[in-house]
Amino acid sequence: MANDLADVDYEKFWRRLQQVGLNAYEARSYVVLVGHPRFKALELAARARVPRQKIYEVLDSLVEKGFAQVVQEKTKLFSAVEPGLAIPAYLERQKENLEQQLDEQRRHGNSLATDLRTAYAEGQGGRGTLDYLRIVNDPSQIAVHYRSMLSSVEREFIEFSRPPYAVDPLDEQLVKQAAARGVRSRILVESGALDDEHRGRLQDYKSVGVEVREVLSLPLKLALFDCNQGLVALLDPVITRPSWTAVVFDHAGLAEAMAGLFEERWRRAITH
């Protein structure tokens, strides 16, 4: 029978197994099993310092999580699954479970946002004096507004694109989907932002009808949808780390003025 782990190693390993996701009883039991070929349940309880009334529950959980297996002889014995197999497989299952939970939360969240948007509109009691403007500085919220407008655009989408991105238009399926449904889509990008990965996507975008041109610099970030609504993002001049504040608007006059700025820069840009 293999030697017991030194106390210092035992302590180190069972605490690290808790960081992976096992509870204290499970972690201690698995470390003991790793150091021995097999154990009866009550023998393991004594070695791992697990209450006798808990050991069967702990072993069932280890078997379910893939860390232990049952060896059936005259009496039921338990042995460890090789750590190089048990730990990666367990983490992969945890990842799949988390992704499923996140997908479910996303579906519920989108449905809830739609329902609450109606309630919000009714509860505000009419349009206020500045309801056509909204200031947003959280990148995730900027991305939500951008994707919402992009998914519903019908005729034309134009954009000044420069980093840092809330959404990178050259890595966004909604851009290609808009072009595929007949929306005229034009993106003006800064030369310095076009790395090899971006340049590799240009032909793919061109094939679905997205027009991309290149300029040395752009004064701001801009996205317009059907020349009626959009967002303008300005770089914060005060802080050291690059950060954008976006003005999301639904205003035909402002959209027309921004479209004029876009067309002037578009004419002078390099065509891909």
Asked if 226 contacts 190 with a C-beta cutoff of 8 angstroms, the reply is: no
- Whole-model pTM over 0.85: no
Q: Which domains does the chain have, with CATH numbers?
A: 7-86 (1.10.10.10), 133-271 (3.30.870.10)
pLDDT of residue 3: 46
Are 194 and 264 in contact by the 8 Å Cβ rule? The answer is no
Least trusted range by pLDDT, from 45-59, 236-250, 257-271: 236-250
Structure tokens at 156: 């034309």
Residue pair 208/176 in contact (Cβ under 8 Å)? The answer is yes
Characterize the bridge pairing of strands 184-190 and 221-225: unpaired
Contact assessment for residue 166 and residue 172, using Cβ atoms and an 8 Å cutoff: no
Q: What is the mean pLDDT of residues 133-146?
A: 86
Query: pLDDT tens digit string along 225-246?
Result: 999 999 998 877 655 556 678 8
Instruction: Output 115 or 18, whichever has higher pLDDT.
Output: 18
Which pLDDT tens digit goes with each residue over 96-126? Answer: 888 889 888 888 888 887 777 777 666 665 5
Q: Tell me what the pLDDT averaged over the chain comes to.
A: 85
Note the pLDDT of residue 204: 86
151-198: pLDDT as tens digits: 999 999 999 998 888 889 988 999 999 999 999 999 999 888 888 888
Residue 242's pLDDT is 60
Q: What is the mean pLDDT of residues 23-32?
A: 91
